[in-house]
Structure 1
Amino acid sequence: MFYYDSTILILIPSLIIAGLAQAKVSSSFQKYSRVQSYNNYTGAQVARMLLDHKGLQSVPIELIEGKLSDHYDPRTKTLRLSKDVYYSTSIASIGVAAHETGHAMQDLEKYSPLVIRNSIVPVVNFSSSASWILFIMGIFFSMPRLLSIGIILFSAVVLFQVITLPVEFNASKRALIMLKDNRILYENEIIGAKKVLDAAAMTYVAAALTAISQLIRLILISNRNNN
């Protein structure tokens, strides 16, 4: 949400970065979606091979609606792939499928940043909206305590975005190693997959920067109102 006043200028750099990152991931995925892999495996086949190789035969792979909606659900231990990834034999699709498999590996190994992120999801789901409600009420009713509570709650959102960074970077690192070690992609193909995953990672960096900028903005507004 965007409470409007002059401090909104603080958000402009991070919003520009977010827009550029989103454009980059879209263009990279489209580019390497047109490059078919030499081995001609689909994204679903790659995910299944990698999961089975790690002893995760019990993790199902489901088809999900949407574009780039691919994700691993740690609650149900399910890997979900979009149509563009599930059926495609492109380098981009294989890279995305391997990345999501990387999250399953993290879950198996109890990777600390993933455990922390999963544990604070309920808090973040509540605080992401409650923080703004309390903060705006604090402004309208001149109640500094509500402003402070709103800032504390929004800090949970910032923590979530920051802890997401090592989770996503590590999943991409695992993906590239697995694709190379299992000879699913060859060296020149790995380069293309890395470009797709690097572009996707920048969207998480942009999200973290936006959340941090928003937190700084809320603190400035609170200080101004308290004075």
Structure 2
Amino acid sequence: MAASGYVNSTFKKYDRYRAQSGITGTDAAQYILQQSGITNVTVQPTKGNLTDNYNGSNKTLNLSEATYQSSSVAAIGVAAHECGHAVQDATNYFPMRLRTAIVPIANFGSTLSLPIIIIGVIFGMNQTLIHIGILLFSLALLFQLVTLPVEFNASHRALKILSGGGLLTASEVPMVRKVLSAAAMTYVAAALATFLQLLRLILLFGGNRDDN
């Protein structure tokens, strides 16, 4: 919650600064894709606030209402970050490929882990079932850990393109860096929260218990 609040407050702060170039988030995205030689990605609006995302399955870069037609420094930074994911996809960036491959496995593990642990507890602290449940939950942590380099790399690519492409001035680039750093903290917080949940499960159920 703290990380989410921080990224929202940081975005709102720099959303008040209009880029001197006058370009919008859409303009920035289309420019970056063109400069990167990516012609098969469509930039389109999507509902919501800060719901920006890149969908590699249908090659769409979806910009939220706060980004699509906004010429703020924050909006341009967010659009550039999503373009970073499109560049990762186009260049077969390995961590991104790995994350995509892990998604169905992580979802499967997250869905079944707690029910299996509960069944293990019901059947007299059956350690085999409990350990299987904990192992399945750990897949969610693996996904979070793989996500970190993907997100940090996308932000790095965005800052590099914005700095060298003349889309932002030298004084505007640090503003974007703060917005993207705040956004990255949400992924760090998610990974930490998942780790603590896993640790809690291990401490509660992971040990061999003898109640006799």
Is TM > 0.5 for Structure 1 vs Structure 2?
Answer: yes
CA distance in 2: counterparts of 1:91 and 1:220, whole angstroms:
45
For the pair 1:220 / 2:206, whether they are aligned, the reply is no
Q: Deviations over 1:15-36 (max 9, x none)?
A: xxxx221111011000011110
- The 2-side partners of 1:172 and 1:46 are apart by 14
Q: Secondary structure at the match of 1:188?
A: coil
Among 11, 27, 30, which residue is 1:45 paired with? 27
Deviation of the 1:192 alpha carbon: 0.6
**Counterpart for residue 156 of structure 1:** 139
User: Residue 30 of structure 2 aligns to which amino acid in structure 1?
Assistant: R
TM-score of the two chains, using structure 2 as the length reference: 0.95
Which structure 2 segments of 5+ residues have no match? none
CA RMSD of aligned residues (A): 1.1
CA distance in 1, matches of 2:69, 2:53: 16
For 2:8, give the aligned amino acid: S
Shift of residue 226, structure 1, vs aligned partner: 3.2
Q: Does the residue aligned with 1:72 lie in a helix, a strand or coil?
A: strand
1:91 paired residue number:
73
1 CA distance for matches of 2:110 and 2:18?
Answer: 40
Runs in 1 of length 4+ with deviation above 4 angstroms? Answer: none
2:180 corresponds to 1:197? yes
**Distance in 2 between residues matched to 1:96 and 1:197, nearest whole Å:** 7
Using the alignment, how far apart are the partners of 2:188 and 2:108 within structure 1?
23
Aligned partners of 1:83, 1:177: CA distance in 2, in Å?
Answer: 25
Q: Is the 8 A contact 2:131 2:206 kept in 1?
A: no
1:166-181 → structure 2 map (5 Å cutoff) = 166-181=149-164
Give the number of aligned pairs. 209
Query: Given the alignment of the two structures, is residue 25 of structure 1 paired with residue 1 of structure 2, yes or no?
Result: no
Aligned residue for 1:124, secondary structure, equals helix
Deviation for aligned residue 1:59: 0.4
SS of equivalent residue, structure 1 residue 226: coil
- Give the structure 1 partner of residue 86 of structure 2: 104
Asked if the contact 1:43/1:89 (under 8 Å) is kept, the reply is: yes
User: How far apart are residue 111 of structure 1 and its match?
Assistant: 0.9
Mark the runs of 5 or more structure 1 residues left unpaired by the alignment. 1-18
CA positional deviation for 1:64:
0.7
- Separation (CA, whole Å) in 2 of partners of 1:73 and 1:225: 44
Deviation at 1:73, TM superposition (A): 0.8
What SS does structure 2 have at the residue aligned with 1:155? Answer: helix
1:169 deviates by: 0.5
Q: CA deviation at 1:69?
A: 0.6
1:124-165 CA-partner distances (Å, limit 9, x unpaired): 121111111111221222221111111111111000001111
Residue deviations 1:27-61, cap 9 Å, x none?
A: 10000111100001110110001001111121001
Shift of 1:224: 4.5
2:191 is aligned with what amino acid? A
